[in-house]
Each structure stands twice: as C-alpha cells, then as structure tokens.
Amino acid sequence: MSDPSALPVQAYLLACLLAGAVGLLLGRVAWRDRAEPGGLEVSLYLGCAGVVVVLYAIRVASPDPLVMIGALQTATPFLAAMPVLWIAFAFAYAGRDEWRTERRLVGLATPAFLWILLAWSSRTHGLARLSFEPVVEGPFTLVETGLGPAGIAFVLYAYGLYVAGILVIVDLYRRTGNRYRLQTFVALLGTLFPLLAGVVTVLDFGSYPTVDWTPAAFVVHGVFLYGVVFWLGTLDAAVVARDTAVEVMQDPVIVTGSDGRIRDLNPAAEGILPDDAVGESLSSAFPGLVSGDEHPIAIDDRQFDIQEDPITDPHGTDRGHVFLLRDVTERERRQAALERRERQLERQNERLEDFAGVVSHDLRNPLAAATAAVELARHGDDGDDALERAADAHERMDELIEGLLSLATAGRTVDAVEPVSIDATVRTVWSRLETGSATLVVEDADETVLADGDRLRQLVGNLFRNAVEHTGENVTVRVRTERTDDGVTLRIADDGPGIPSDERHRVFERGVSLADGTGLGLAIVGDIADAHGWSVRVVDEAVGGACFAIDGIEVVSE
C-alpha cells in the first residue's frame, strides 16, 4: 500500500476525498435543478467525477492489490462516461437540440461501452490494459495498467469528444458575441483541466509518474460547468430562444461578417440561396441584396423587403450585418391589383368625360343639323337636298355611336390572353373590311403572340380603316413585325401623305381627327394597346406615309 505517513500521500488523499465530496454534493444539488439547459449533464458529470476520484483514493490507500484492481474496474464505466457527458452538455448548453438526439448520443456512447467491456476483460487479451501489477513509486503504491491498442484508441476518442465539445462552445460564442464572453470563457477554461491532466498522466510528467491527476481534474471541470449553468446563468432565455426563433422564422435571415462573407443562414434563407453560400461573398451569392437598387427585390417568383442591421462590439467596431428578408409577395400582388384597379378607374373616368364631350358636342351638332334639315324639307322648296343632309347627319351620328360603343370596351384591362397569330389576324381583318382597290402587303409577320384576340383584331381594323379612309382606295398598307428585347413590335404603315410630326402626339387623343373623322378610331387603338400593357406611337417610314408601331407585345414561348 502507499505510505500513509508520507506527506505527499496524505495531501493527495485529502485532495481526492475533498474533490469527491465536492463532486458528489454538487452533483446532487445540480440534479434538483436538472431542468436547466445542460443541468442534467452537469449533474451526471459531477456525480461520475466524484465517484471516480473517491475510487482512486481507495486505490491509493488500499494495501490489497485486489481491492485496488476492484476499485479500478468499478471506476471504468464512470470514467468512460465523462467525455460522452461533456459533448452532451455542449450540445444542450449551445441549444443544439437537433444534434442532441437519442440516436446520436447512443452512437457517441457506443465506443465507450466497447472500451468498458475490453477493459474489464483485459486480463485475458490485454487489448485495453496491459497489466494489473502494483508498482511502487516513492511513497505511492499503485496498480500500473499501461495502455493497450484499445486503450490508446479510447484515449484518442475521448480527446476527440472533448475537442468537439470545445468547438461547439466556440461556435456558440461566435453566434452570440461578447455578450456571453464570461460564460463561454469559463466553460472553455474548465475543459483545459482534464485535457492537461490527461497529457501529464500519459506522458509521465512530474515527480510521481504513476499518479493519475485526471480524477481530480474531472471534478474541477465539473465545478466550472456547474458555475456556468447555475451561477453565471445559462443562455436558454437568450441563445436557445434566439436560435429557436430564428430557425423557425418563415422569413430568411442572413448573417455576414465584417469582410462581407456569409457566416450563417436560417433554414428559410437556405431555401433561396445556393447550398455552398456559407463562406461565400454576399455580393457574389446575392448581388441584389448588396446593391439595394431594387425595393423590394425579386427572387424567383417571390418578393422581399430588406431590413439590414449592423453588428457591432462594445467599442462600436463593425463586426458584420444581419439581413432580414420579409416576404411581401402577397402585399405586392395586392398593391399591383389595386394600382391596376386605380388605373382602370382613371381610364373609365376619362372615357366618361369623353363620352360626355362626344354626346354634348359631337352628337349634338349632327343632331341639330338633321333637325334643321328635316324642318327645311317640311317647309322649304328643296326637300330632296335637305333630306340628303339629314341622312348624312344620321350617318355621322351612327358612326359616333359605334365609336362610343367600341371605346367603352377598348380600355378595359385585359385579364386573359391567348396565343394569337399576327399573320392570320391581319389577313382575317383585311378580308372583312371594305377596302376597294387598296392593297395589303404582309412582310415577316409570322409571329404568335399573347393577346386578347378580339381586341387585337379591333386595333388592326381601326388602323386599316384609318389608312383607307384618310389616304384613298389606292393605298398600299404594309404590315411587318420586328423582334425586340421587350418582345415583338407590330408595324402597320401606308404610302399616303403621312401625319405631320407636330401632330403625332395628338392623334391618339379622343376627339382629335386630322380629317373628317370621328376622332375616336385612333383613341380606341391607344386604349387597346394600354389595356394590354403595350405602347403605340407614330414613327417615320422609309417610303413615307403614316406608320404606327405597337411595342411590347409578348411572344409565345417556343
């Protein structure tokens, strides 16, 4: 047995018994408050450490080698549990519940369980422990076991778990910043004790190479963890709640460092960014977010408003930014629908004003002329001529009424479109008009576009009538299409006198006619184009004459 009268032995036994008492007592206290995040793991860690250090004191004080070996074998499962409890604590304390699953913990504990079985049976194979012979080293007499292949593998495994737990705590500090510097520092500092004690023991540093310093170091580590959880306060209200809130948010959250690289994403952000976005520059992974040119920004078929908040340390130094992307797709759709409705109401109000103007002025004039002609026919001598003027006035009113009816429907917003052939539409409309000796030439118009077929035919028909009525029956009308970045431009031109450049901006206004027309035909063309989201303008043509260009017509995808 070890020499109980030797001061080093007395000091070491006293330290072991004190550490064992502290470990078991704090473990029991922690068990009552084990609901705290990491509390259960701390309680078990302290309990196991207390048992290990007390059993080690028995190994030091016992005169019987069999008692020493019995204490060693009894301590084996408690010793094997230490690294597994540490990594479980790190998961719980950092709020990584998705890692702290039963299946994962069982997987982590399996190598420790296998080592326990090999350690207990090492006398038959020597895979875990090489020998069980007492060794005298100064005043100490201890069973020196040595490490077999399985023992070395378990030591490496245990150190790997401790290092993994350290990385989890470091990641927690990286996510929470300086606000929880003390908690993370204490947790990491305590972890150094069992790591360094294990190195000292394995490499035989010190005056008594056979003495194992890790049992007491485990208790010291457990005390540090107890202080972190129960004295300094866990991060459950801040970190776990923060992580849970961010993780379950439907809105994407992107965290960048001061160098502009992406540091963290929540699941919603992972759904809209590439898989390898973390670590990449935000400007390359998400250019629209950095430039801020678009508000809101469009991603696929969704739209997001951006809230950007800086991350600063207590000294005001820039540490990065947090981007919160709020999905405003439905809001933008409602806003767009509201704006469309407002534009439609504005057009309706404009048409009502135009109708009132046409009824009060344009219709009243031919009506007055017809009334006067009828009275003249009744009481005058030139009855035939008066009746002819009355008939002309009625024909004029008929044209105005027909134009008003067309105008009433032309400006309604187009809600449904269908594939329409430009070539077929043009030829069908021409065949239904009274064009006399006028000629139609269709060039490169073999395009299929998305439009309201009836209103597109009405637009084309009005332009054809405009060309024939204002140019003459010998006019040649040319139709062609051109591909542009916005889709297709439809050009309808004639070889007549054309439209003066200073009048071109007025021809689509209601009631404006450069000849003896109703002033509604080209206004209807403008309304139909506007209802589709197109634009119409008068442009120059190489051969002279009037040329109307309708831009922005959407092409059917090939």
The torsion angle over the Cα atoms of residues 219, 220, 224 and 230, rounded to 10 degrees, is 40
- Model confidence over 383-422: pLDDT tens digits? 677 777 777 767 767 766 666 666 555 556 677 889 999 9
Nearest to 358 by CA among 509, 477, 487: 509
Instruction: Check residue 77 and give its pLDDT.
Output: 96
Pick from 173, 189, 197, 172: nearest CA to 223 = 189
Task: Return the higher-pLDDT residue of 231 and 533.
Answer: 533
pLDDT higher than 60, residue 513: yes
Report the C-alpha gap between 30 and 530 in whole angstroms.
75
- 93 with 172: CB under 8 angstroms? yes
Q: Is residue 498 very low, low, confident or very high in pLDDT (cuts 50, 70, 90)?
A: confident
* Per-residue pLDDT, 357: 59
Task: Say if CB 197 and CB 215 are below 8 A apart.
Answer: no
Which carries the bigger pLDDT value, residue 509 or residue 478? 478
Range in 31-40, 168-177, 528-537 the model is least confident about = 168-177
Q: Reply yes or no on whether the pLDDT at 358 is more than 60.
A: no
- Taking residues 75-94, report their average pLDDT: 92
Return the percentage of the chain with pLDDT > 70, whole number.
Answer: 81
Asked if the model's pLDDT at residue 274 lies above 80, the reply is no
pLDDT-derived band of residue 535, with 50, 70 and 90 as boundaries? very high
Is the pLDDT reported for residue 82 higher than 90?
yes
- pLDDT band at residue 434, thresholds of 50, 70 and 90? confident
Q: How confident is the model at residue 236 (pLDDT cuts 50, 70, 90)?
A: very low
Whether 151 has a pLDDT exceeding 50, the answer reads yes
What secondary structure, in 3-state letters, does 128-151 show? Answer: CECCCEEEEECCEEEEECCECHHH
As a whole number, the mean pLDDT across the chain is 81
Inter-CA distances, 205 with 9, 160, 210, 212, 217, Å: 17, 22, 10, 10, 15
Residue 403 and residue 519: Cα distance in Å, rounded? 9
- What does DSSP say about strands 439-443 and 487-494: parallel, antiparallel, or unpaired? unpaired
Please give the average per-residue pLDDT across 2-7, as a whole number: 77
- What are 285-307's pLDDT values in tens digits? 777 666 455 567 777 777 788 88
Average pLDDT over residues 494-513: 80
What's the CA gap between 67 and 134, in Å, rounded? 11
Judged against a pLDDT cut of 70, whether residue 267 lies above it is answered with yes
pLDDT in tens, 439-464: 999 998 889 999 988 889 888 988 99
Residue 42 CB contacts under 8 Å (≥ 6 apart), including other chains: 27, 30, 89, 222, 225, 226, 229, 230
- Which residue has better confidence, 508 or 24? 24
| Per-residue confidence (pLDDT) for residue 169, from 0 to 100 | 86
As a whole number of angstroms, the distance between CA 49 and CA 521 comes to 95
Q: Which residues of 123-156 are buried (b: 16+ CB within 10 A; e: fewer)?
A: eeebbbbeebebeeeebbbbbbbeebebbebbee
pLDDT at residue 534, as a whole number? 93
Which pLDDT value is given to residue 150? 93
- Does pLDDT of 187 surpass 90? no
